Structure 1
Amino acid sequence: MFKYVITEELDLRLLEPRHAEALFQLTDQSRDYLREWLPWVDFTKSINDSNNFIDSTLKQFSQNNGFQAGIWYKGHLAGVIGLHSINWSNHSTSIGYWLGEGDQGKGIMTQACAEVVDYCFEELNLQRVEIRAATENLKSAKIPEKLNFPREGCLKQSEKLYDKYVDHYVYGLTKEDYKSEDRRY
């Protein structure tokens, strides 16, 4: 089992089939909260749907195309963070994340995201890491801002969320900018 310890209370673990029930329960408990910004929530209707997601993420990992990890806080699954995919030709990736409603405001995602950024630059030797956030999703946008990602622009009507389109801010960090930053968060 892959486990990456961040603090005594916080670690990242690759999602495995045995986590499907916990993942579904977390999604179901935070369904209304998550639905505001995540287009896949309505398609997660059962433990089987969570298991199918986990199967796809294990395939992604086995193909060296990124990963999806559960964020474990004080022994329970609090959310998910991962790489959408890796563009090995350009040595770049983008990070996606979500946190259950009950674990918001504790600095969990900032710490988890900082560790994933470190992993991308130091272990994967990538040149660029990107994070996108809906312009009105202030909580999500705070993460790259806290991690000193420059906001590079705005993509108009970038994502369809159920019955509307939302704009996305694009935040990008290059290896050169990463090396020059003070990495304490």
Structure 2
Amino acid sequence: MFTYTIDDELYLKLVDDSDLGELFALTDNNREHLREWLAWVDQTTKPEDTAQYIKASKQLYADSKGMNAVIVFRGHIAGVVGYNLLDWKNGVAHIGYWLAESYQGFGIMTKATSTLMAHAFDQLNMNKVEIRAASGNTRSRAIPERLGFTEEGTLRAVERLSSGVVDHTVYGMLQDEWLAT
């Protein structure tokens, strides 16, 4: 099982059945905060929905197609970070993430994303890490910008959210760029 200690207060671990109650409660308690940028929030209305997510995440990992890890900060789940897709043929890892509102401002997501980048390049030997964020989601876009990603372009009208259809800004970092830092 993937577990990675980042510092004394922060670690990542594969999402597991034991996370069900806390993960659903975190989602439910942050529903309004998350809904603005995450389409799946309105389909996660009961613990069974989170159980399905955990089951699908475990299958994704077993099939080597992706990985979802809970972010544990000071002993509590603060959010999720993972590889939405591991494209082995092309050597590209696609990272996605979300963080509960009360955990913002501690540098948690920057550290968690940086950890997955290192894992993708150093352990999985990926050639590229890609992050897509809704173009209007400045907090999410700040993560790849802070980590030195290149803004590669905009995908127009690619995601339907509760507020309407949004564009995505695409960020990428190549393995040789990572190694140069």
Could you tell me whether the CA contact under 8 Å between 2:134 and 2:168 is conserved in 1? yes
TM-score by length of 2: 0.98
Match of 1:95 in 2: 95
- Are 2:141 and 1:130 aligned? no
* Letter matched to residue 52 of structure 2: N
Alignment: residue pair count: 181
Aligned ranges 1:105-144 → 2 under 5 Å: 105-144=105-144
Query: What do you get for the CA RMSD once the two structures are aligned?
Result: 0.9
- Residue 3 of structure 1: CA displacement? 1.8
- Tell me the secondary structure at the aligned position of residue 166 of structure 2: strand
- Residue 73 of structure 1: CA displacement? 0.1
Match of 1:8 in 2: 8
- Tell me the secondary structure at the aligned position of residue 7 of structure 2: coil
* Letter matched to residue 39 of structure 1: A
Unaligned runs of 5+ in 2: none
Distance 1:87 1:104 in 2: 30
Q: Which range moves more in the overlay, 162-171 or 4-13?
A: 162-171
Could you tell me whether the CA contact under 8 Å between 2:35 and 2:162 is conserved in 1? no
Aligned ranges 1:17-96 → 2 under 5 Å: 17-96=17-96
* Letter matched to residue 53 of structure 1: Y
- Tell me the secondary structure at the aligned position of residue 39 of structure 2: coil
* Letter matched to residue 63 of structure 2: Q
- Tell me the secondary structure at the aligned position of residue 40 of structure 1: helix
Unaligned runs of 5+ in 1: none
Distance 2:166 2:117 in 1: 25
Q: Which range moves more in the overlay, 50-59 or 155-164?
A: 155-164
Could you tell me whether the CA contact under 8 Å between 2:36 and 2:163 is conserved in 1? no
- Residue 162 of structure 1: CA displacement? 2.6
1:139-167 CA distances to partner (integer Å, 9 max, x unpaired)? 00000001000101111112111351101
- Tell me the secondary structure at the aligned position of residue 48 of structure 1: helix
Distance 2:100 2:61 in 1: 23
Task: Give % identity.
Answer: 42
Distance 1:71 1:51 in 2: 17
* Letter matched to residue 157 of structure 2: Q
1:29-50 CA distances to partner (integer Å, 9 max, x unpaired)? 1000000000000000111110
